[in-house]
Structure 1
């Protein structure tokens, strides 16, 4: 028996990287998982096929979370395919891509997170869990400086976390908990690759400073674990980067 047998989950931004790993872990615990992608359907379908080959349940759904209809499409997919929604993992993020509009980071990392949660609240029952995925570079941005190339994204992600925390009273009324997972730089992610391209040597420098960096698979396992962990609403789970915990705020 899995911890999420009979449950349904949405993992935003899950066609690759951390989101894909989280989707696999949740499916392994028995959840039916909506695998979300924005443009790359073949990648998302590959994730779904892998889950199904391992005996799990999943469906790939294309949805741009910055559009008005994107969040609603994911919620509809969860209810239609798996009968409801019990776990929402807010993993999608961005802002370092080339060719995006100037305020795209805020639209995705703050506004879309709130819109996704608000759409999900209509169907999530008491006892459900929301997990917001962020980085130490964003979570601690008000007290620990980050690389200039990443600061706009970090501030937009912190704004997203703050906006979600403002909804804690509303979540409490519904019996739904929110957990934040904050991780150090993760080896092999798109963000790490873009940062290293913009600031060559940045990832190696952080690896030396931190002692080690988590892999995508390791961090994905920690995020998935928080979907069922016995922690209070509003809890922040820190993964790696012990130096941040001594230098920055802890909430």
Structure 2
């Protein structure tokens, strides 16, 4: 018996990296999983295959979360394929990609998070949980400076976190809890790679300051634990190196 048997989870941005591992971890605990991708269908299909081969249930859904159509498609997929929605892991983030609109970071990291939660909330059962994934660099951006290249992303993710926290009373009315998971730089993620490319030595410097950095799988495991952890709504779970920022 898994802790999430009979539950359905949406994990945004789960075709690769942290999100993909979160999807596999919650599936291993019994959840049926909606694996979300924006463009890379083969990657998402591979995650679904890995879950189903391990005896789990999953479906891949292409959805741009910055659009109403994408939000609707993702929420609808949970109900149409699995008949319920009990866990929403808000992992998708961005803002360092080239060729995107100037306000893309805010569209994805704040507006899309709120729009998806508002669409999901009426369908989520009492006792459901929302997990928002962020970074220490974003969570503490108002008090601790970060690299210039990451500032727009950090500020938009903090704006997203604040907007989600403002909905805690609404969530409480429906017996839904919100947990924030804040992590240090994670070895092997796209964001860390881009930051190190723009600011050579950034990963090595942060690793030296923190002692060590979590791997993708280690960070994903901590996020997955928060799906069922007995913590109060609004709790922030710090993963690695947070003392440097506090």
Scaled by the length of structure 1, the TM-score of the pair is 0.97
Report the secondary structure of 1:146's partner residue.
Answer: coil
Does 1:55 find its partner at 2:47?
Answer: no
Deviation track 1:191-231 (CA, whole Å, cap 9, x = no partner) reads 00000111011000000110000000000000000000000
- Name 2:20's counterpart in structure 1: 20
**3-state SS, counterpart of residue 123 of structure 2:** coil
Deviation at 1:243, TM superposition (A): 2.8
5+ residue gaps, structure 2: none
Superposition pairs for residues 54-203 of structure 1, below 5 Å? 54-203=54-203
Distance 1:186 1:60 in 2: 25
Q: Distance in 2 between matches of 1:96 and 1:8?
A: 31
Q: Contact 2:2–2:30 (CA<8 Å) still a contact in 1?
A: yes
2:181/2:238 contact within 8 Å kept: yes
- CA separation in 2, counterparts of 1:32 and 1:83? 10
Q: Deviations over 1:107-156 (max 9, x none)?
A: 00000000010010120011000000000000000111111110110000
2-side partners of 1:195 and 1:230: how far apart?
Answer: 34
Which stretches of structure 1, 4 residues or more, deviate above 3 A after TM superposition? none
User: Residue 187 of structure 1: CA displacement?
Assistant: 0.3
**Alpha-carbon distance in 2 for matches of 1:32, 1:119:** 19
Instruction: Give aligned pairs, total.
Output: 246
Offset at 1:33?
0.1
Q: Which residue of 2 aligns with 1:222?
A: 222
Q: Could you tell me how far apart the structure 2 residues matched to 1:29 and 1:80 are?
A: 21
Structure 1, gaps ≥5 residues long: none
- In the TM superposition, what is the alpha-carbon distance from 1:26 to its structure 2 partner? 0.4
Distance in 2 (alpha carbons) for counterparts of 1:26 and 1:185: 22
Cα pair 2:9 2:87 within 8 Å, conserved: yes
8 Å contact kept, 2:136–2:242: no
Contact 2:7 2:31 in 1 (8 A): yes
Using the TM superposition, give the Cα deviation of residue 242 of structure 1 relative to its aligned residue in structure 2, in angstroms: 3.5
Q: Which residue of 2 aligns with 1:211?
A: 211
TM-score by length of 2: 0.99
Alignment partners' CA distance in 1, 2:228 and 2:7: 11
State the shift of 1:69 in Å: 1.2
